[in-house]
Amino acid sequence: MNLKQMAYLDDLTDLPNRKALDRHIEKTFARSKRHGHCFGIMFIDLDGFKNVNDTLGHDAGDQLLIEVASRLQDNLREEDVISRIGGDEFIVIVEESSKNELENIADRIIQSSSQPYSINKAEAKVSVSVGISLYPNDGETKEILLENADRAMYYAKNNGKNRFKFYTPDLMNIDPPKEGFIEKWRNTLHNSLFN
């Protein structure tokens, strides 16, 4: 693998990283605008990951992330793109998709991800919270769509976990209690471009 390829892959999972995802979203926007297609953004966050790190150690946590990434890929179409954006957070871009298709994909992801994992002969369990935003209904810029998917994920996480939630306008008042996701996104992209 050459250096250029490595610059666009996550070190741990070999999934596209934020920089690669950013490029892919730009192209997805261009295609969707040109052809009048919808596309979905899924923001996926693991539930219970900290507990695995705390009880089994960071190596086990890394192994778990690799396994989760593999299961996520198994439940997506070949043309869908999944990216690990840091920690235990993933983003999936589903092009030319309807709300119904996105529901089916989210269901499969939740079912698959919540099955037990065998890590170093120990059993580990996590689940996922998934937030979904749709272009163009939920926003016409990358930042707004990502923020709205993040809000929906935060709602799912705080209302039972192991579920998905589509963004709706009543979630506009939700501000996830962490460094602003978009701010973090911009900083990471800026740092990777200038380092």
Active site residues: 88
**Contact indicator for 29, 142 with CB cutoff of 8 Å:** yes
127 φ, ψ (degrees, to nearest 5)? -135, 180
**Contact indicator for 101, 94 with CB cutoff of 8 Å:** yes
Strands 89-95 and 81-86: antiparallel
Nearest C-alpha neighbor of 89 from the set 190, 185, 192:
185
Strand partners, 166: 132
Encode burial over 69-94: b for 16+ CB neighbours within 10 A, e otherwise: bebbeebbeeebbbbbbeebbbbbbb
Nearest C-alpha neighbor of 32 from the set 145, 130, 132:
145
Tokens 């690990």 locate to 84
